[in-house]
Amino acid sequence: MDTLIQQVINGLSLGSVYALIAVGYSLVYSILLFSNFAHGGFLVIGGYICYYTLAAMGHNIWLSGLLAMVGAGVVAILVEKLAYKPIRERTNVTLYLLIASMGMSIVIENIFVVTVGGRFRALPPVIPTDPVNFFGLATTSAFDILSLGMAVLFLTGLQLFLSKTKWGLAIRAASYDLRTSGLMGVNVNRLISIVFFVAGLLAAVGGIFLSVRYTLYPQLGFITIKAFVAAVIGGLGSLPGAVLGSLILGLAEMLTAGFISSQMRDLVVFGMLVLTLLWRPSGLLGKQVSEKV
């Protein structure tokens, strides 16, 4: 019983970090309708900015975290301006954006391989990881509780941004039809920049928590594949779906690790993806896309 509760908390915590990544990825998808594989790069950038600013400016996680978020957000905007904008302005073939984003993810990963090397780095102990007794039911780590709490905080923030601000409303409108919102006088390029900034920012938060969990290395971005899978399970382009898919995935992974075998967890993840898509091809909460003829 102890293990069960513990694994459930672990699973929710891991799932909530996936959610931070998946939501940003899904947000970009809902606007531009392509799968941004460079999203994992934003997470790695956030992680490294945090690592180096912690070392340089004293162990102030709040400041470093803020810098990481802004830095990853800015890089996300740059990636969009450099690589995606010229493509989307010329054609509507989203396959080209997909391939460019794959290239971008390789570039970001290997910039770090070339400059700082491929070794694993542990963040200084700025986030508490002490064991915490959870209402006398189970023992878990403070880190798990903290990452769950932060994820809830940021996801609520995103929800408020999307529902209460002018740009948030514009983003939600654009997710129905980008071209029409352009016609309605929305500055589409600025809107896309904001979307990428938000996506990069959320990825950085996820990146910091993942660096604490797994240590930091250039290929850490690979973990985003799980967030992508979560977003697909939940339904591409649907933000509640991304959160739901992430939590399911986090739980499935931790329960598999706890009760079956740690080696099976990735297999379970991909198995769930295939099963979900067989059962509901557009994901749990995805809208059925029908093309205008």
Partner 1 sequence: MSGYVEGIIILLFINGIAAMGVSLLTGFTGVFTLGHAGYMAIGAYTAAIMTVRYGIHWLPAILAGGIIAMVIAYCIGVPTLRLMGDYYAIASIGLGESIRLILENWQSFTRGARGYPGIDNYTNLPVAATFFVIMAVLMFFLIRSNFGRAFKACRDDYVAASLLGFNTARYRVLSLSISAFYCGVAGALMAGFLTFIQPVMFDLNKSTELTAVVVFGGLGSLSGSLIGTAVITLVTELFRPISQYRMLIYGAVMVIIMVVRPEGIMGQHELGPRFIRSLFNRKDRSPRTAEGGGGR
Footprint of partner 1 on this chain (CB under 8 A)? Answer: 29, 33-35, 82-83, 86-87, 90-100, 102-111, 113-114, 222, 225, 228-229, 232, 236, 263-264, 266-267, 269-271, 273-274, 277-278, 281-283, 289, 291, 293
Q: How far is the CB of 78 from partner 1 (least distance, A)?
A: 12
Please say which residue, 66 or 83, places its beta carbon nearer to partner 1. 83
133 vs 288, beta carbon nearer partner 1 = 288
Cα torsion 273, 279, 281, 284 to 10°: value is: -70
DSSP state letter for 12: H
Cβ closer to partner 1: 41 or 46?
41
Residue 179 CB, shortest distance to partner 1, in Å, is 12
Write down the least CB distance from residue 36 to partner 1, Å. Answer: 10
CB of 102 to partner 1, least distance (A): 6
Which of 143/196 has CB closer to partner 1? 196
Regarding beta strands 131-134 and 138-141, do their DSSP bridges make them parallel or antiparallel, or are they unpaired?
antiparallel
Q: What are phi and psi of 131, to 5 degrees?
A: -70, 145
Q: Which is nearer to partner 1, 61 or 116 (CB)?
A: 116
Q: How far apart are CB 284 and partner 1 at their closest, in Å?
A: 13
CB contact at 8 A, 101 and 221? no
Q: Least distance from C-beta 273 to partner 1, angstroms?
A: 5
Q: How far apart are CA 211 and CA 64, in angstroms?
A: 14
Q: CA-to-CA distance for 275 and 121, rounded, in angstroms?
A: 36
Minimum distance from residue 62 beta carbon to partner 1 (Å): 33
Q: Give least dist CB 218 to partner 1, A.
A: 10
d(CA 47, CA 61): 12
Buried b (16+ CB within 10 A) or exposed e, 229-262: bbbbbbbbbbbebbbbbbbbbbbbbbbbbbeeee
What spatial distance separates the first Cα and last Cα of the chain, rounded to whole Å? 55
Please give the backbone phi and psi of residue 216, each rounded to the nearest 5 degrees, phi first. Answer: -105, 130
Q: Per residue in 180-212, is it b (16+ CB within 10 Å) or e — as a string?
A: ebeeeebebeebbbbbbbbbbbbbbbbbbbbbb
d(CA 145, CA 142): 5
